[in-house]
């Protein structure tokens, strides 16, 4: 209970991020929150509640890849590093690269402990519908975790245990990157530990991905992860995915999606991170909201937004043809002081 007479700050309300228009009628509204933060963790623009607590989900994969790279002195290619950061579609090109990592470290697919699933991509799933761990969108991340464990001689059977030395290294890195004393630790969809924190802290991590020096001795590995994502954006997600589309369209931006309507970006030239959270967890709204935020921040121009039209204003279908669209009209506020 708070001390008598002391008022705790009330959480801020989400804002309408995306409106769903069908046949000229507003059918649904996705509420959410946006925060852009600099490398010091200071908000530079917000909409909704920058202190909203949530799990970082797959938006933490670049951080996990940084830890893996720091512990595994193998000569990985850009493609291999990018797929460690990925929530991939399990298209053939993604599976080939995950298998390449496993071959390099002397393991087989049987070592992967990510939750078995069908490929995320419909075309890939139609061609290869088996439910297997390597088909998980997280299999690249898990291959990176295994690489670190092989290099360090750590147990492979328990690498997902929160007390495992690898997961403890990730936790220390998350705390250092956010300058927080503690974070919530839960279980992600793939079975790995996942970290909960305010949305602003997640944006701060992405802000700090723009500046390797903010990562101390991990700096070269942070730069390596960012460079690989920029060099191989298709490996980070794949066909019909907003992360890949934005990175292929705009130089100097890194984008990574997470589950439950979370989407993050690093604007490398300006040293800021952007985090978008759709409160109802709907992924269809996070892409339009992120593109709107980057346009408002001046980091996507009109021509680039036009190229990203399928992701910025996705069509609403009726009878298999467009009868509406998703529309974004929110504004960003600049914090005072």
Whole-prediction pTM value? Answer: 0.95
Taking the C-alpha atoms of residue 83 and residue 141, their distance in angstroms, rounded to an integer, is 7
Q: What is the pLDDT of residues 248-274, one digit of tens each?
A: 999 999 999 999 999 999 999 999 999
On whether the CB atoms of residues 315 and 324 are closer than 8 A, the answer is yes
Taking the C-alpha atoms of residue 243 and residue 260, their distance in angstroms, rounded to an integer, is 15
Taking the C-alpha atoms of residue 229 and residue 206, their distance in angstroms, rounded to an integer, is 13
Q: What is the pLDDT of residues 97-143, one digit of tens each?
A: 999 999 999 999 999 999 999 999 999 999 999 999 999 999 999 99
Closest CA to 223 of 75, 62, 98: 62
Question: What local confidence, expressed as pLDDT, does residue 12 receive?
Answer: 83
Indicate whether 8 pLDDT > 60: no
Closest CA to 89 of 233, 212, 272: 233
Contacts of 3 (CB under 8 A, 6+ apart): none
Q: What is the pLDDT of residues 133-165, one digit of tens each?
A: 999 999 999 999 999 999 999 999 999 999 999
Helices (H), the chain: 61-71, 78-84, 92-104, 122-127, 139-152, 165-178, 199-208, 219-231, 233-236, 242-249, 283-296, 302-307, 309-312
Indicate whether 27 pLDDT > 50: yes
Closest CA to 264 of 278, 248, 249: 278
| Angle (deg, nearest 10), helices 283-296 and 242-249 | 20
Question: What local confidence, expressed as pLDDT, does residue 53 receive?
Answer: 97
Which domains occur in the chain, in start order? 15-327 (3.40.710)
Q: What is the pLDDT of residues 169-184, one digit of tens each?
A: 999 999 999 999 999 9
Report the pLDDT averaged over residues 188-207.
98
């Amino acid at each position: 209970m708070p001390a008598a007479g002391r008022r705790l700050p009330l959480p801020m309300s989400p804002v309408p991020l995306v409106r769903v228009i069908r046949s000229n009628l507003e059918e649904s509204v996705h509420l959410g929150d946006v925060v852009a933060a600099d490398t010091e963790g200071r908000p530079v623009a917000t909409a909704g509640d920058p202190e909203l607590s949530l799990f970082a989900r797959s938006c933490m994969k670049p951080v996990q890849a940084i830890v893996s790279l720091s512990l595994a002195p193998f000569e990985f290619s850009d493609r291999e590093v990018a797929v460690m950061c990925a929530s991939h579609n399990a298209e053939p090109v993604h599976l080939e690269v995950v298998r390449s990592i496993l071959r390099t470290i002397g393991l087989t697919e049987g070592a992967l402990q990510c939750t078995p699933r069908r490929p995320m991509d419909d075309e890939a799933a139609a061609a290869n519908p088996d439910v297997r761990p390597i088909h998980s969108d997280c299999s690249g991340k898990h291959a990176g975790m295994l690489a670190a464990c092989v290099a360090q001689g750590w147990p492979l059977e328990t690498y997902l245990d929160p007390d495992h030395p690898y997961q403890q290294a990730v936790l220390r890195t998350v705390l250092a990157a956010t300058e927080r004393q503690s974070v919530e630790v839960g279980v992600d969809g793939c079975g790995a530990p996942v970290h909960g924190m305010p949305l602003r802290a997640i944006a701060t991590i992405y802000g700090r991905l723009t500046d390797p020096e903010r990562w101390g001795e991990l700096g070269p590995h942070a730069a390596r992860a960012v460079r690989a994502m920029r060099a191989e954006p298709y490996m980070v997600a794949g066909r019909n995915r907003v992360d890949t589309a934005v990175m292929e369209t705009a130089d100097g931006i890194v984008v990574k999606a997470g589950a439950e309507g979370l989407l993050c970006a690093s604007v490398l030239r300006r040293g800021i991170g952007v985090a978008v959270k759709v409160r109802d967890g709907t992924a269809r709204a996070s892409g339009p909201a992120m593109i709107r935020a980057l346009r408002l921040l001046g980091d996507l121009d009109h021509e680039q937004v036009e190229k990203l039209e399928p992701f910025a204003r996705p069509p609403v279908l009726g009878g298999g043809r467009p009868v509406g669209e998703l529309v974004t009209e929110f504004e960003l506020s600049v914090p005072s002081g």
